[in-house]
Amino acid sequence: MNSQSVANAPQSNNSLTLNWTYILFFGAFHALALSALWCFSWQALGVAIFLHWLCGGIGICLGYHRLLSHRSFEVPKWLEYAIATCGALAIQGGPIFWVGGHRQHHGYTEDVEKDPYSAKRGFWWSHILWLLYPKQEAFDKEYYSKYASDLLRQPFYRWLDRYFLLLQVPLAVLLYAFGGWSFVIYGIFLRSVVLWHCTWFVNSATHTWGYRSFACDDNSRNLWWVALSTYGEGWHNNHHAHPRSAQSGWRWWEIDVTWYTIQLLDRLGLAKKVRKIPMSKIS
């Protein structure tokens, strides 16, 4: 989608304009991620993979998404806060922003006005342009907080929502102490960029390609390669059919690493009230 198609898309009363702060921020991260080509080491790559899993698999997929957005299971409060902190390290916004936006997405899926990253505006809108042409409804704290009032009531989440970016400072210092600039480039910049696009593909690709197991009103689809890169989130049609389920992959070959992690927490006595897709519902 180019600028002209964005302008022609159905809009609210607020005109869509480029946010140059966001463009410079994302552009700088992508440029620094490319510098990883000149400072490669297997150790640095290992750091990037580990932090991709910790911040993405644990922080975003398990934490921000299935635990906080949908409350598909419960854990002790200390563990919930620790997992949410991992999510904040992903640099995808604070928990109130992320959860508020995601609940809008489910409440108004693919509505061109009310879904912040509606796929009906086009692939590139739902992938990244919704961030570069921010709609007031999606980025106004007073508005999106209404959809995450359970988090807004907790001082820790209000603090994390405001200061999540500052968490990158101690992480960068720690990475530099252990491996120098290559660890910082791989552990902060390359990891963040790869994880961003993995997450954004859930918004874009899984509303475009793949198969459907459930007859949802939206165009959500199951897409294996997105599932593999997002620890199970690519089984998106399953998820939209049963959003409160802790289990997204249903069939034996629908690999869902996040679900396996929740099962492990359950066996360790750390997860309770775990919700599953009713077997009778699968087609």
What's the pLDDT tens digit per position in 151-192?
A: 999 999 999 999 999 999 999 999 999 999 999 999 999 999
Q: What is the mean pLDDT of the chain?
A: 92
Q: Which domain holds residue 143?
A: 42-281
Residue with the two structure tokens 């180019």:
2
pTM of the predicted model as reported, rounded to 2 decimal places? 0.92
Three-state SS for 118?
coil
Three-state SS for 222?
strand
Residue 31 lies in a domain: no
CA within 13 Å, CB half, 192 = 26
> How do the pLDDT tens digits run along the chain, 283 residues long?
333 333 333 344 457 899 999 999 999 999 999 999 999 999 999 999 999 999 999 999 999 999 999 999 999 999 999 999 999 999 999 999 999 999 999 999 999 999 999 999 999 999 999 999 998 878 999 999 999 999 999 999 999 999 999 999 999 999 999 999 999 999 999 999 999 999 999 999 999 999 999 999 899 999 999 999 999 999 999 999 999 999 999 999 999 999 999 999 999 999 999 998 776 555 5
For the chain, percent helix, then strand, then coil, each to nearest 5? 65, 0, 35
Residue 247 lies in a domain: yes
Residue 136 lies in a domain: yes
Q: What is the DSSP letter of 277?
A: -
What gap in Å lies between CA 3 and CA 8, rounded to an integer?
9
Q: What is the pLDDT of residue 5?
A: 34
Residue 50 lies in a domain: yes
Q: What is the pLDDT of residue 2?
A: 36
Distances from the Cα of 14 to the Cα of 6, 121, 228, angstroms: 13, 16, 37
**Count of beta carbons in the 10 Å neighbourhood of residue 4:** 8
Q: How do residues 190-228 score in pLDDT, each as one tens digit?
A: 999 999 999 999 999 999 999 999 999 899 999 999 999
Q: What is the pLDDT of residue 276?
A: 86
Residue 18 lies in a domain: no
The angle, 0 to 180 degrees and rounded to 10, between the axes of the packed helices 191-204 and 42-51 is 40
Q: What is the pLDDT of residue 136?
A: 82
Residue 12 lies in a domain: no
Residue 174 lies in a domain: yes
Specify the number of domains making up the chain.
Answer: 1
Residue 276 lies in a domain: yes
